[in-house]
Chain A
Amino acid sequence: MEKILKVANIEKYYGNRGNLTKAINNISFDVYEGEFVGIMGASGSGKTTLLNCIATIDKVTSGHIFISGTDVTELKGEGLNKFRREDLGFIFQDFNLLDTLTAYENIALALTIQGKKPKEIENKIQEVAKTLNIEKILNKFPYQMSGGEKQRVAAARAIITNPKLILADEPTGALDSKSSRMLLEKLEELNQKLKATILMVTHDAYTASYCSKIYFIKDGKIFNELVKGNDTRKEFFDKIIDVVTLLGGDLNDAL
């Protein structure tokens, strides 16, 4: 299987010499094509910083991140933008949909900025809308949708460009449990049927249990690693809880 993401010895420091905070302290891991990887940690553990670095929204202090062989820490300017446009898909906790655009337009935007043809855009949106079950709300504005619908629209926007890697930052953070389950099932489906590679950051064990592999982060370091393997989701969930308990009180409050 192709190695989609290779994170090699990255570090991220904040502050100055007198008052240094290591948000990420020497993290390395790989993600292969078709994997659904979760990153778990309490708030302040550095998981969002890690995601931002991979997403090229933030810059690492040292180390390298390779996506499909390209070192994204070396990318600059237009190369960086092109990379974000074409190789990455984003799903954010607060949806980050443009509130003045309809669902259709929000999704289309990801393609129009790539300069795709109108016909192709039209077809792709219909296709992805069917997959994510949002055909009926395509002409609605974000304020007319429920949280779950918004997040599925955001997911549609993330996958429509066929990115090499989908980055999800607490995608269920603002959703009720029913919407969460629906979204996660859809993500699982995207992962299994369309072989989408997903990297998801979460502090919620239930959300994490949909992943195939989980890295636990504490104080900027990888603390533990769990692989689902042939476990059922329930068994995997119990294992996650065990690690969370092991991690200490920090994460308990998240349960």
Chain B
Amino acid sequence: MLFKLSFKNIKKSFKDYAIYFLTLVLGVAIFYVFNSMDSQEAMLELNEGEKDIIDLMNEFLGGVSIFVAIVLGFLIIYASRFLIKRRKKEFGIYLTLGMSKKDVSKILLMETFFIGLISLVAGLFIGIIASQFMSIVVANLFEADMSKFTFVFSKIATVKTIIYYFIIYLIVMIFNVFAVSKYKLIDLFNASKKGEKIKVRNLYLSVFIFLLAVVILGIAYYFATQRLDSLNLFGTSIILGIIGTFLLFFGISGFVLKLVQNNKKIYLKNLNIFILRQINSKINTTVFSMSIICLLLFFTITIFSSAWSVNMTLKKDLKYGTPADLLVYTFAETDMETAKEALNKVGYSLNNFSNYAEAYSYGFDKVNVGTLLTPVLDEVLKDYPNLLADNYIPVMKVSDYNKIATLYGNNTFTLKDDEFILIADYKQMLPYENKALKEGVTLQIGNKEYHNKYPKCLEGLVQMSGNRSNTGIVIAPDNIDINLSKTTRNYLAANFKGNKEKANDKFMKYTEKLSTIGAAYDTKIDIYTASTGLRAIMIFIGLYLGIIFLISSAAILALKELSDSSDNKEKYEMLKKIGVDNKNLNKALFIQIGIFFALPLLIAIIHSVFGIMSASKIMESMSVNTNLSSIIMTALLIVVIYGGYFIVTYFTSKRIISEKSD
């Protein structure tokens, strides 16, 4: 009997809460997909390094999953408490019919269990299908070939999903039973009559709190974007941001109401009074959820757009940063051996190279960061108090540099006897270096002086890297006195013969020995793999958190709106009775739901403008630019998911309201 009852209840409420069910299914599916990354390896041709990266990514995503599970857990607890609240009257009837609270708890338990079970199975099913397509995404990212189509299924991910979900649901069930046991019959009966308690706040207080919130947020924005030098202030800005957001939602509806009330033309027009009051009461009863949703959206936007920026920048810089297959270098601090000698010593044959070039770089006492930046040194030290002005700037003979540059396919240079060129590509330093060079810099090596040939840095590099990290190399005439050098390096840049992957794997066998004799190396394939791995981790974490945050916040809004629909139904019916036509009713409904969804997003976007500004300042040090494509991708993600929830909510709400009440 109880079983039948709970089963019928699920069926009955299914139509109205389809969106909640959908969110659960989506949550499970996403959880599975992002935990099943390791199974993708089966489908792709990957080298060892790439496999390592995918394993690392899997670990990362596993860690993030705990956080995701907590978010989903809160969503489910919130939603089910919400749904229980709506059904108080029904429970009241059960109790008067003579059911015990235990029985009611059992009904609820069974319902929760069924919904959980169905959504788990459906979610896993969808997740397994979606993970097949995930391979295409992974293959694309790693520029790997799809070896063969194999049906991928991750046992670990499945078990993990089930366990996490089970834990979440166990907590939900305990919550539900606890909630039922607390109810008093009289409250259950009056629940539907009372409805949501209408919170009316003093309008002047609202206005005051709103203005206070604006001031607090202003300070938070200032700290977050202008005072990045202090970690303390940055932390303060986050706390102020959270407090400010909360206060903003506390005051905003009252503030807007007051504002509109002062303009009688808008206030007393059509259904505006009604729309305003509806939104006002809705926001006032959901200040806390609105703030949380706004913050989640803010995190989504910032995390995702930053992740995308890192991805795009890495992708762009990768080709530029790895112009040769291999670079081996040795240091003067060890017994100076040339890179070539080091390779010979470990038994690696130069015949493996199709071509190679060698060069030295030197460090001179008076060629350091301080002397190079002399004209702007005060300014730099103000911005970067930790800058080590004594650090050597490596100096290369122009003939040496040209050899490397020719191999790299970069520009070669010629110099007069008293000239030098600075090559650099590190974004953060470039403005200072350019400014210094514009004013003119004189370097001294021994007793000779050198002036800069160009009023700015030129692009170029010696060391290979996944991002632009050349802080500066001085290209000097061949006549410099290398005996004065305090620290010397020897470079050998080379391209492999034949199959690059195989040649790279062969070279890797010698690397351990190379390290023991103090030589270092970078290979193009290594850098590619590391960089792609970083990109993949960024994108997946961005997507994972982004989607989960978006569906959670949109689902909470949708649930709140839909569960209010039964209350709203009476209101809209009344409006119909006094002669409001359907067109205006639907318009009012659309505006009302629209604002309810748009408000947290709007404030999140304002937060994000400053959040992204702050993030790009931090990321600049990693040579990452915030670019337009990241903003477009973020917008796309939000429009599709958040917008989708909005549309579904509107149409469901419209259906509930237009249904005949009898």
Contact = CB atoms under 8 A, between A and B. Distances in A.
B126 to A, nearest CB: 40
Interface stretch (B240-248, B260-268, B377-385, B460-468): B260-268
Interface string B547-578: 00000000000000000000000010011011
Nearest to B574: A96
A22 B182 CA distance: 47
Contact of A118 (B200, B264, B277, B580): B264
B269 A122 contact: no
Chain A interface SS verdict (over half): helix
B270 interface: yes
B271 A57 contact: no
A118 B268 contact: yes
A232 interface: no
Contacts of A83: 579
Contact of A105 (B269, B273, B578): B273
A110 B273 CA distance: 11
A32 to B, nearest CB: 24
B271 A110 contact: no
A186 interface: no
B580 A81 contact: yes
Interface string A70-109: 0000000110011111101010000010111100010011
A122 B577 CA distance: 23
Contacts of B584: 113
Contacts of A88: 579
Given A98-B571, A101-B277, A118-B264, A78 B271 contact: no
A157 B575 CA distance: 12
> Which one of B267, B274, B584 has the greatest number of beta carbons of chain A within 10 Å?
B274
A137 B270 CA distance: 23
A112 B270 contact: yes
Nearest to B584: A113
A128 B204 CA distance: 28
Given A96-B574, A109-B273, A112-B272, A84 B198 contact: no
> Which one of A57, A110, A112 has the greatest number of beta carbons of chain B within 10 Å?
A112
A141 interface: yes
B504 interface: no
B579 to A, nearest CB: 3
B198 A143 contact: yes
Contact of B579 (A84, A108, A143): A84
Size bin of chain B's contact surface: 20 to 34
Given A98-B571, A99-B198, A118-B264, A78 B581 contact: yes
B200 A141 contact: yes
A175 interface: no
B196 to A, nearest CB: 9
B268 A121 contact: yes
Given A100-B280, A141-B200, A90 B577 contact: yes
A184 B481 CA distance: 113
A98 B570 CA distance: 9
Interface string A43-64: 0000000000001010000000
B281 interface: yes
B347 interface: no
A118 B267 contact: yes
B574 A98 contact: yes
Given A101-B277, A112-B268, A113-B270, A86 B579 contact: yes
A115 interface: yes
Nearest to A79: B581
A101 B273 contact: yes
A15 to B, nearest CB: 13
Nearest to A120: B268
A34 to B, nearest CB: 23
B588 to A, nearest CB: 10
B191 to A, nearest CB: 15
Nearest to A125: B268
A232 B264 CA distance: 47
Contact of A85 (B271, B574, B579): B579
Interface string B272-292: 111001101100000000000
B95 to A, nearest CB: 26
B195 interface: yes
Given A55-B577, A99-B198, A141-B198, A108 B268 contact: yes
7 contacts: A85-B579, A90-B577, A108-B273, A112-B273, A113-B271, A122-B264, A122-B268
Given A86-B579, A96-B574, A96-B577, 12 more contacts: A78-B581, A82-B579, A84-B577, A84-B579, A85-B578, A88-B579, A98-B571, A112-B268, A112-B271, A113-B578, A113-B584, A118-B267
Interface of B: 195, 198, 200, 264-265, 267-274, 277-278, 280-281, 571, 574-575, 577-581, 584
Interface of A: 55, 57, 77-78, 81-86, 88, 90, 96, 98-101, 105, 108-113, 115-116, 118-119, 121-122, 141, 143, 157
Q: Which 5 A-B pairs have the closest CB atoms?
A: A85-B579, A84-B579, A118-B264, A81-B581, A100-B277
